[in-house]
A = this chain, B = another copy of it.
Amino acid sequence: MTRTLCSELPAAHAAGNSSATVEGWIHRRRQLSGVTFVIVRDRSGVAQVVATESAVREQISWLPEETVVRVAGGVIANGKAPGGIEIIDPVITPLGPPAAVPPVELWRPALKATLPTVLDHAALTWRHPARRAVWQIAAASMAGFRQHLDSAGFTEVTTPKIVEQSAESGANVFTLDYFGAPAYLAQSPQLYKQMLTGVFERVYEVGPVFRAEPHDTARHLAEYVSLDVEFGFIADHRDVLSVLRDTLAAMLERVRATAGTAVESIGAQLPSVPEQIPVLHFTEALEVVGAPPEEPDLAPEHERALGKWALREFGSDFLAVEGYPAAKRPFYTHPQPTDPRWTNSFDLLFRGLELVTGGQRLHNHADYLHALTTRGEDPARYTAYLEAMSGGMPPHGGFAIGLERWVSRLVEVDNIRWSTLFPRDLHRLSP
Let me know if B394 and A23 touch, CB within 8 A. yes
Which B residues touch A388, using CB under 8 A? Answer: 123-124
Is A52 part of the contact surface with B, judged by Cβ < 8 Å?
Answer: no
Which B residues touch A208, using CB under 8 A? Answer: 158, 160-161, 207-208
Which stretch in A29-37, A81-89, A197-205, A409-417 binds the other chain?
A197-205
Which B residues touch A233, using CB under 8 A? Answer: 3, 23, 95
Q: How many copies does the complex hold?
A: 2
Rounded to whole angstroms, the CA-CA distance of A42 and B231 in the bound complex is 12
Rounded to whole angstroms, the CA-CA distance of A137 and B376 in the bound complex is 41
Let me know if B123 and A135 touch, CB within 8 A. no
Which B residues touch A199, using CB under 8 A? Answer: 123, 126-127, 132, 135
Rounded to whole angstroms, the CA-CA distance of A164 and B431 in the bound complex is 8
User: Distance (Å) between the CB of A39 and the closest chain B CB?
Assistant: 14
Residues 109-137 of A, flagged 1 when their CB comes within 8 A of B and 0 if not, give 00000000000111110110000100110
Is A169 part of the contact surface with B, judged by Cβ < 8 Å?
Answer: no
Which B residues touch A222, using CB under 8 A? Answer: 162, 178-179
Which stretch in A11-19, A268-276, A337-345, A363-371 binds the other chain?
A363-371
Rounded to whole angstroms, the CA-CA distance of A218 and B342 in the bound complex is 49
Query: A157's closest neighbor in chain B, by CB?
Result: B421
Is A225 part of the contact surface with B, judged by Cβ < 8 Å?
Answer: yes
Interface residues of A in 183-198 (CB under 8 A from B): 183, 185, 192, 195-196, 198
Let me know if A429 and B100 touch, CB within 8 A. no
Given known pairs A390-B100, A392-B68, the reply for A426 and B179 (CB within 8 Å) is yes
Let me know if B127 and A156 touch, CB within 8 A. no
Which stretch in A142-150, A294-302, A314-322, A351-359 binds the other chain?
A142-150
Rounded to whole angstroms, the CA-CA distance of A195 and B422 in the bound complex is 11
Residues 403-427 of A, flagged 1 when their CB comes within 8 A of B and 0 if not, give 1000000000000000001101010
Is A166 part of the contact surface with B, judged by Cβ < 8 Å?
Answer: no
Residue A42 contacts which of B23, B143, B201, B426 (CB distance < 8 angstroms)?
A: B201
Rounded to whole angstroms, the CA-CA distance of A393 and B67 in the bound complex is 8
Which B residues touch A212, using CB under 8 A? Answer: 179
Let me know if A157 and B135 touch, CB within 8 A. yes
Is A66 part of the contact surface with B, judged by Cβ < 8 Å?
Answer: yes
Rounded to whole angstroms, the CA-CA distance of A121 and B386 in the bound complex is 11
Given known pairs A43-B153, A196-B126, A422-B192, the reply for A365 and B97 (CB within 8 Å) is yes
Which B residues touch A135, using CB under 8 A? Answer: 155, 157, 199-200
User: Distance (Å) between the CB of A216 and the closest chain B CB?
Assistant: 11
Rounded to whole angstroms, the CA-CA distance of A196 and B206 in the bound complex is 20
Query: A63's closest neighbor in chain B, by CB?
Result: B392
Let me know if A123 and B384 touch, CB within 8 A. yes
Interface centre among A126, A202, A422 (most CB of B within 10 A): A422
Which B residues touch A378, using CB under 8 A? Answer: none
Let me know if A392 and B96 touch, CB within 8 A. yes
Let me know if A162 and B210 touch, CB within 8 A. yes
Which B residues touch A66, using CB under 8 A? Answer: 391-392
- 9 extra A-B contacts, CB within 8 A, seeds A96-B363, A123-B384, A123-B391: A23-B233, A43-B201, A44-B153, A67-B392, A97-B365, A122-B384, A161-B208, A163-B430, A192-B421
9 interchain residue pairs of minimum CB distance: A384-B431, A99-B392, A66-B392, A123-B195, A123-B388, A43-B201, A100-B390, A164-B430, A126-B199
